[in-house]
Amino acid sequence: MTISIWFWNDINDELKEYNLTNSLATTTKVWRWSITFISMNFLIQSLKNVSCLYFINSPECEIWLQPSTDFYIIIKRLFNFFFGANFTQPVAKFIGLFALLIYILGMIQWLITKLPRNGRNSGFSENGRN
């Protein structure tokens, strides 16, 4: 994924059209570099624990088997702040599965209607290329 965001032709063409001071160009560049640094961080962490590929039940690999509780705590605090709701794990599971369902339905709709008509080009960048 990290390599593909740097060689994405539609994005590169759009960035060539805008100045560096444009908010869209700046946001896109920040997004690209953020994804790159996060991916490099995960790669370094994975290389530190390469032995977990062979011995997943070893004590030093327990961190890879546990779900991320820090992210859950942050989301729980945000939900309590914004909605005053009791954000529990079943609620989180429902929201995640519902979002996945919406995403899959959107992907199916795109595959059935847009892809056969337009091909891979989404139509956002009309630079004379087809």
Long-range pairs, 29-34, Cβ under 8 A, ≥24: 31/5, 32/5, 32/6
- State the pLDDT at residue 130: 46
Q: Which two tokens stand for residue 31?
A: 């997004």
Span 26-50, pLDDT tens digits = 888 889 999 999 999 888 888 877 8
Span 38-83, pLDDT tens digits = 999 888 888 877 887 788 778 877 777 676 667 777 877 887 777 7
Between 118 and 123, residue with greater pLDDT: 118
Domain parsing of the chain, residue ranges: 1-54, 67-123
Phi-psi region of 31 (alpha: psi -120 to 50; beta: other; left: phi over 0): alpha
Residue holding tokens 């994005």?
Answer: 11
3-state secondary structure of 34: helix
- State the pLDDT at residue 124: 52
Indicate the DSSP class of residue 57.
T
